[in-house]
Structures are given as structure tokens and as C-alpha cells.
């Protein structure tokens, strides 16, 4: 065995949804990689099913959301019953996202559309190739890869990304403990046709003394059905007749099932690693955390892991940021993974309660709580994942003039200072909103304008737009172009009270009614730096190039001299 002549920037191990998402993001970023998988072909089983609003927003940044929407089935609400009594109705229409719903799309289809997009980009998945071992030093990783024919290859790479699932070879080789436990219950699942009159755009669940059964619509009256039960051995057979009995008993009526395409018993675990990075190797998705599927967030969390890491790898690989930036992957994603484990564990225990008295208490309290507006709003944010944030991250920041300096200005500046405080905080998801582009008859959305998986500096003119502000923006834009053009694009959000100078005209988006300014707390001029994963990295009021420079120096270890050397 000999090493390849050229060291590989990135080796992705695993071609499931997480690895494929990572590959697409890296290709958009212009980072070379190879993606390998030990399976001879992609999964043909539906497995993970739901894609939530936050993940759809990220897929939009990759230019893939329309394809997913074409292949998926939209669900607008969730209903939970006890017999014929409705305990919960949760409408997803109130999610504050351009995608106020859940998209049901089988994992097999998710893998297909991502792989097809990579193929169109000239990227092929190298199958029947398995990492059997790897070693690393300060400069690189050397991985031994075994092919199906028994031959082996040594691949030297800067970074190794373990996206290889719950039985991850990368995790095992790193010696990372997968701490947690297996649930006492077993679970039965079937994908089949259901003959009933429930709406096809609603997720429907039943809780009973015997257990739970949930119906996840896949379109055309086909459903994924999941029910809890006693623990079974992996090779125990589950039949359509058994599933029919479970459904009839727990739903309180006969609901005919037919035409099954996948039926099995399975066990679920709640496990995670404490370290997502060890040296030059990383783990993402199920390789880092597995949990109950009750909220349908596992695949989503893994895909979001991938996009959090991908943009940081780009900056490091291109020599823009220091390698220490990659430490923030652990700092940001590990707490998200732990929160996911906690939430799904609590929800699983709630719906699988066996004690009759506890069941009665649950069935009484849930309807009362579910009708509270604040509970509905929080549930929507949690399920859709739009409420996740990185406020405690070490690589987010802001600059605001102290209130005492603001008080030296005219009194109108004080409300503006307070308004900015109510805008999205550093680490928050950047909100979407209607926007107008020059010459377009129909309005657009901000998210449509910030596609491309890169940083965007949004320069808000403020509600009282002025020629002076626009002149200052010219200087700021020129500074950003000189120092950070490799990874930052500028957009000016204007209320159109003053026409922009020619130099800014192509960058200007019109917020005619000021609604986007209000969402961002931009009564006066301000700057928001939006990361490729759609979160606020930095914000400032007033707009100050020196403060932006200090942020990049601290968070990314980018200095002006380094930036100038790259021009």
C-alpha cells in the first residue's frame, strides 16, 4: 500500500443524509473531498421521515429546498387522541418560517435527491469502501480503507469526518464512549396503506392503556405507523396481522391496514459522545448522538451538525481562519445534541406511561396545557427547530454603544437603542422577511437573497434613511470587499426614502414597509453578519468597520494583514 500522491483536504466517511449534506456544502464552498461508504448502494428503507422547518431553511441556502418539496409530503398539524377524545391539536401553520409545516420524505428519498445533486456536480460516492483504521498527528490523518475486493488503500487527509451512523467506525477508532442506555420498550413499525377518513396532512397519534400508536402520513394514504410494545429480538417476525391488532386495540376502532412495504420490530437508544472532535477527526449525526424518534429530529440534527462544521472547515482549509475555529463545532453542537436527548427522552416517557393513574393525570393535563397559546408557540419552536440558538457560543458577538453615550444624542436615539436590543441576538437564527429587488414586479424573501452558503453582511439603513447613511455604507462596503471578499457578501437593506448611489445600487434590497427593519430592531442603521448556517454571528449599532474587524480577529483569528496578503 502506498499513499496517494496528493493529500486530500477532507475525507467523509458515510453517505447517509449527514454525509451527503456535508459533501454538498463542501462542494459549494469549493473544498475538495472524497465521500466513501461501505454499503453497496443507498438505503431502500424509509427510516427517518420528517424534515423540519429549520432544516428546510438550510436546504434553501444550499439551493435544494425546491427539490425536497417536490419529493415530500407536507404535514400542517398534529393531533393526539385517547380513543375518540382529542387531547391535543397543534397547528404548525404558526411556525415563524417560510416553511410552516413538517415535510414527510423517506430517508431513502432524501439520500437519492442529495446523491443526484452531487452527481450533477460531478461528485461520485465511492461505495463498498470501509475505513478499517486510521492514525493522526498534528498535520494530517492517514486512513486505511478496505475495498470490497479485499484490496486496501491509504488515504492521507487533513480532516476526517465520521458521518457513519450509530455503529460508527470513526467513533470506535477514536475511543469515544457512547454513553447512555437502551429503552426498556420495544417498538413496532410498518409502512403501509391506511383506509380511514383522517386528513392526509395531519400527524395522528393515539395513547391508550395498552400503549401508543402514531400515524405519520407519507401521501396517497400511505403511512408510517409506530407503536410501542415489549422488547423483541432483532430477528423476531412482525406481521401485518399483529400490527392490525395493535392498531385496532389502541385506536378504539377498526382501521384497515394493507399493502405493507416495510415492517419490523426495533429497539431505540439514548446515547451520545461527550466530544465531537478529537484532533483532526470529527463525528456528526448518529455517530455522535442517537435518541428516541418520537419528535422526528435525529436526521435533522445530524444534517445541521454537518452544516455547522462545513463552513468552518472551509475557512480553515482556505487559510482564512485559524484551526481553533473548529473547536466551536463542539462548543455549539454538543449542547444542542444534549438538549435533543433530554427533550426526546421526556416526550417518550410521557407518551409511553404505563401506570393507569399517571395516564389519567396525563390525559387530563395535556389538553389544558395544549390550549395555552404560550405552550403552542413553544411547541412549534421546539418541533420545527427554529428556536435553537448559539447565544452562549464563543464565536458570536456584538457592539452596541453604551446607553450613557446614547443619552448624549437626541432623545429619538434612545428608542432606537432599545429597539436594537429586541432584534435577533448574536447566535440567534436570522429571521426571514419580504423584500423587493430592483426592477422585480413581485416581492422576494430575504432567505432567497442570501442563498449560496456564505457569510452575508446585512447593512440596514434604518427607518429614517439618509444620504449620509448611504455614503457611510459605501465606505463600509469597500472595506469589507478589500478585507473579507473571499467569504463575505454585502447587501444593503433600504427603506427607499433616498435613492442609493450607483456603487450600492446592485447591492440594495428594498424594505418598503419597514417590516424587515422591525424584525431586526433596525430603527437606526445597523449591521448584521449572517453566517452560512443562517445564524447571527455578529451585529453592531452603529455600523463600525473597526468593530467588525475586532470581531473577526477574536472569533476567526483573521487579521487585516492576513487579509491584505490574500488580495
> With b meaning 16 or more CB within 10 Å and e meaning fewer, what string describes 468-496?
ebbebbeebbebbeebbebbbbbbbbbbe
Name the DSSP class of 535.
Answer: B
The mean per-residue pLDDT over the stretch 207-232 comes to 92
- Model pLDDT, residue 535: 98
pLDDT band per the 50, 70, 90 thresholds, residue 561:
very low
Residue of 519, 513, 472, 518 whose CA lies nearest to 492: 472
Which parts of 507-552 are beta strand (E)? Answer: 508-510, 524-530, 536-541
- Model pLDDT, residue 176: 97
Note every long-range contact of 149-153, with CB atoms under 8 Å and residues 24 or more positions apart, other chains counting: 152/1, 153/1, 153/4, 153/129
Residue of 403, 390, 372, 380 whose CA lies nearest to 430: 390
Cα–Cα distance measured from residue 495 to residue 506, given in angstroms and rounded to the nearest whole number: 15
Residue of 266, 287, 182 whose CA lies nearest to 224: 266
- Model pLDDT, residue 567: 36
Cα–Cα distance measured from residue 9 to residue 247, given in angstroms and rounded to the nearest whole number: 51
- In the block, cell 451538525 appears at 305
Cα–Cα distance measured from residue 174 to residue 19, given in angstroms and rounded to the nearest whole number: 18
Condensed to tens digits (0 to 9), the pLDDT of residues 460-482 reads 999 887 888 888 999 999 999 99
> What count of other Cβ atoms lies within 10 Å of the Cβ of residue 149?
6
Q: How far is CA 72 from CA 56, 78, 109, 439, in A?
A: 11, 17, 9, 33
Set of cell numbers at residue 364: 387530563
pLDDT band per the 50, 70, 90 thresholds, residue 407:
low
Residue 229 has phi, psi (to 5 degrees) of -175, -170
Contacts (Cβ under 8 Å, ≥6 apart) of 404: none
Domains in the chain (CATH in brackets) are 8-49+106-178+273-348 (3.50.50.60), 181-269 (3.30.70.2450), 397-566 (3.40.30.20)
Cα–Cα distance measured from residue 433 to residue 421, given in angstroms and rounded to the nearest whole number: 19
Terminal CA-to-CA distance of the chain, rounded, Å? 40
pLDDT band per the 50, 70, 90 thresholds, residue 1:
low
Mean pLDDT value across the chain = 91
Burial zone of 254 (CB within 10 Å; 0-12 exposed, 13-18 middle, 19+ buried) = exposed
The mean per-residue pLDDT over the stretch 368-378 comes to 81
Cα–Cα distance measured from residue 390 to residue 470, given in angstroms and rounded to the nearest whole number: 31
Condensed to tens digits (0 to 9), the pLDDT of residues 295-310 reads 889 999 999 999 999 9
- Whether residue 404 has pLDDT greater than 90: no
The pTM (predicted TM-score) of the whole model is 0.93
- In the block, cell 435577533 appears at 424
Set of cell numbers at residue 280: 483532526
Amino acid at each position: 500500500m502506498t499513499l496517494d500522491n496528493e493529500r486530500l483536504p477532507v475525507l467523509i466517511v458515510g453517505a447517509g443524509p449527514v454525509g451527503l449534506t456535508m459533501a454538498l456544502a463542501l462542494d459549494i464552498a469549493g473544498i475538495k473531498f472524497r465521500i466513501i461508504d461501505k454499503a453497496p448502494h443507498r438505503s431502500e428503507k424509509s427510516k427517518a421521515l420528517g424534515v423540519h422547518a429549520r432544516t428546510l431553511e438550510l436546504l434553501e441556502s444550499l439551493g435544494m429546498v425546491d427539490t425536497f418539496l417536490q419529493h415530500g409530503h407536507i404535514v400542517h398539524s398534529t393531533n393526539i387522541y385517547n380513543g375518540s377524545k382529542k387531547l391535543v391539536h397543534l397547528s404548525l401553520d404558526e411556525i415563524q418560517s417560510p416553511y410552516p409545516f413538517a415535510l414527510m420524505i423517506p430517508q431513502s428519498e432524501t439520500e437519492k435527491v442529495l446523491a443526484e445533486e452531487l452527481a450533477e456536480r460531478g461528485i461520485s460516492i465511492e461505495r463498498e469502501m470501509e475505513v478499517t483504521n486510521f492514525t493522526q498527528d498534528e498535520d494530517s490523518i492517514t486512513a486505511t480503507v478496505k475495498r470490497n475486493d479485499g484490496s486496501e488503500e491509504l488515504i492521507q487527509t487533513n480532516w476526517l469526518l465520521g458521518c457513519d451512523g450509530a455503529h460508527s467506525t470513526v467513533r470506535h477508532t477514536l475511543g469515544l464512549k457512547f454513553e447512555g442506555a437502551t429503552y426498556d420498550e420495544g417498538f413496532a413499525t410498518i409502512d403501509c396503506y391506511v383506509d380511514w377518513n383522517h386528513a392526509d396532512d395531519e400527524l395522528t397519534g393515539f395513547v391508550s392503556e395498552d400503549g401508543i400508536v402514531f400515524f405519520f402520513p407519507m401521501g396517497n394514504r400511505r403511512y408510517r405507523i409506530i407503536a410501542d410494545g415489549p422488547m423483541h429480538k432483532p430477528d423476531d417476525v412482525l406481521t401485518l396481522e399483529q400490527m392490525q391488532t395493535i392498531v385496532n386495540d389502541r385506536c378504539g376502532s377498526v382501521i384497515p391496514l394493507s399493502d405493507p412495504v416495510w415492517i419490523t420490530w426495533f429497539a431505540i437508544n439514548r446515547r451520545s459522545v461527550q466530544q465531537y472532535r478529537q484532533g483532526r477527526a470529527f463525528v456528526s449525526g448518529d455517530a455522535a448522538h442517537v435518541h428516541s424518534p418520537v419528535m422526528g429530529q435525529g436526521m435533522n440534527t445530524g444534517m445541521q451538525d454537518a452544516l455547522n462544521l462545513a463552513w468552518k472547515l472551509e475557512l480553515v482549509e482556505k487559510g482564512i481562519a485559524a484551526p481553533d475555529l473548529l473547536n466551536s463545532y463542539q462548543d455549539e453542537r454538543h449542547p444542542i445534541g444534549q438538549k435533543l436527548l433530554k427533550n426526546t427522552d421526556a416526550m417518550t416517557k410521557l407518551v409511553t406511561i404505563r401506570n393507569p393513574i399517571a395516564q389519567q393525570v396525563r390525559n387530563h393535563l395535556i389538553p389544558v396545557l395544549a390550549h395555552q397559546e404560550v405552550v403552542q408557540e413553544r411547541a412549534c419552536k421546539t418541533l420545527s427547530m427554529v428556536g435553537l440558538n448559539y447565544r452562549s457560543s464563543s464565536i458570536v458577538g456584538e457592539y452596541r454603544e453604551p446607553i450613557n453615550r446614547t443619552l448624549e444624542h437626541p432623545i429619538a436615539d434612545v428608542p432606537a437603542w432599545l429597539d436594537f436590543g429586541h432584534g435577533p441576538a448574536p447566535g440567534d437564527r436570522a429571521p426571514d422577511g419580504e423584500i423587493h429587488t430592483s426592477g422585480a414586479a413581485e416581492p422576494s424573501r430575504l432567505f432567497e437573497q442570501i442563498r449560496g452558503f456564505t457569510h452575508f453582511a446585512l447593512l440596514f439603513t434604518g427607518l429614517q434613511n439618509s444620504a449620509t447613511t448611504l455614503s457611510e455604507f459605501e465606505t463600509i462596503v469597500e472595506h469589507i470587499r478589500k478585507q473579507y471578499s473571499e467569504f463575505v457578501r454585502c447587501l444593503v437593506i433600504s427603506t427607499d426614502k433616498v435613492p442609493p448611489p450607483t456603487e450600492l445600487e446592485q447591492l440594495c434590497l428594498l424594505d418598503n414597509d419597514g417590516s424587515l427593519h422591525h424584525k431586526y430592531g433596525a430603527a437606526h442603521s445597523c449591521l448584521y453578519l449572517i453566517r452560512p448556517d443562517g445564524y447571527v454571528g455578529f451585529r453592531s449599532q452603529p455600523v463600525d468597520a473597526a468593530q467588525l474587524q475586532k470581531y473577526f480577529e477574536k472569533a476567526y483569528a483573521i487579521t487585516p494583514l492576513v487579509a491584505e496578503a490574500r488580495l
